[in-house]
Amino acid sequence: MKIIEDPVILNQYIRLHRFEEVFNIEETPFKIMELAEGETLMNEGEELNELYYLVAGRVKVTSSVHTGKFLLLRFNHPLTILGDLELIRNVPVQSQVTAVIDSIIMTLPFEYIRKNEMDNPAFLKQMLKHISYKLQTSTIASRVNLLESVESRFASFLLSTVSSEPDNDFGQELQTMRIAEIADLLGTSHRHLNRVVKKLSEKEIIAREKNHLIILDEVRLEEVSQGIRFE
């Protein structure tokens, strides 16, 4: 993680996401930093002392299981709050958060929030909105991981990745992500997922070229996903 010292950039994101409607900007000690693609922002079990706002880029949120693997909960895109559960419940980090692409994070110390913002209606409303969103997406992710077929989960994964970043080159997006890694996130074996990829390729819904996966027919892929998203 790299701290960005330029106040002009900080103010740009403050205005973009209308933080002035929630905070007294002149008194709020925001900092801003850059998170590189693949870099982990939060690790399960670690202590956290800052609230994070994702203001640019995209991250994935995963949860560990007893096998040591991680299941995908959601993709997050701006504006997203990270660390809200840890702030409210005063507990260690509950989920791992990793940058999918280069991302920008604004930070605010827990100590400042507890002293100055816990009676701020606008801040509490913002927190409630984001926590309820996480409850909804976690419920959906649990249902998907337990009940839906691997084919549906994989289609949902692909479409969630695309819809989170409309301008993204999807082939490039998956170039650095092996099928085995995706299989772990979806709670299946890489052999099973390879069979699903082959099936969807034979139907000309997707194409597999070396380390690239390309969506050929988004409409039919949407049908396979049954409208589910990891976001």
The structure's pTM equals 0.78
Pair 168, 154 in one domain: yes
DSSP state at residue 26: G
Q: What residue numbers bound the domain in which 85 lies? A: 2-145
> Quick one: what percent of the chain has pLDDT higher than 90?
54
pLDDT at 146: 67
Please state the domain count of the chain. Answer: 2
Of 183 and 195, which is predicted with more confidence? 195
One domain, residues 140 and 168: no
pLDDT tens digit sequence for 101-115? 999 999 999 999 999
DSSP 99-161: ESS-EEEEEEEHHHHHHHTTT-HHHHHHHHHHHHHHHHHHHHHHHHHHHS-HHHHHHHHHHHH
Q: Which of 91, 117, 145 is the last residue of a domain?
A: 145
Does residue 18 sit in the same domain as residue 94? yes
pLDDT (mean) for 196-214: 86
Tell me, what CATH number does 30's domain have? 2.60.120.10
The one-letter code for the residue type at 55 is V
In this structure, are 7 and 119 located in the same domain? Answer: yes
The model's pLDDT over 154-190, given as tens digits with 9 standing for 90+, comes to 988 888 776 544 444 433 334 435 777 788 888 888 8
pLDDT tens per residue, range 67-102: 667 788 888 989 999 999 999 999 999 999 999 999
Which helix (H) or strand (E) segment holds residue 184: the answer is helix 179-186
Four-residue CA torsion sign, 220, 226, 229, 230:
negative
CATH of the domain at 196: 1.10.10.10
Which residue shows structure tokens 């396979």? 224
Higher pLDDT pick, 117 / 136 = 117
The CA distance from 62 to 167, in Å, is: 24
Q: Are residues 54 and 160 in the same domain?
A: no
Computed over every residue of the chain, the mean pLDDT equals 86
* pLDDT tens figures, 8-26: 999 999 999 999 999 999 9
pLDDT of residue 208: 83
Confidence check: pLDDT of 220 > 50 = yes
The answer to whether residues 99 and 17 belong to one domain is yes
pLDDT at 130 over 50: yes
**The residue to which tokens 């701290």 are assigned:** 3
Q: Distance between CA atoms of 95 and 195, rounded to whole angstroms? A: 30
The domain boundary residue, chosen from 118, 145, 172: 145
Same domain, yes or no: 135 and 201: no
96 domain-assigned: yes
Peptide bond into 159 cis (omega under 30): no
181 and 116 assigned to the same domain:
no
Q: Is the model's pLDDT at 118 over the cut of 80?
A: yes
Map residue 207 onto helix, strand or coil. strand
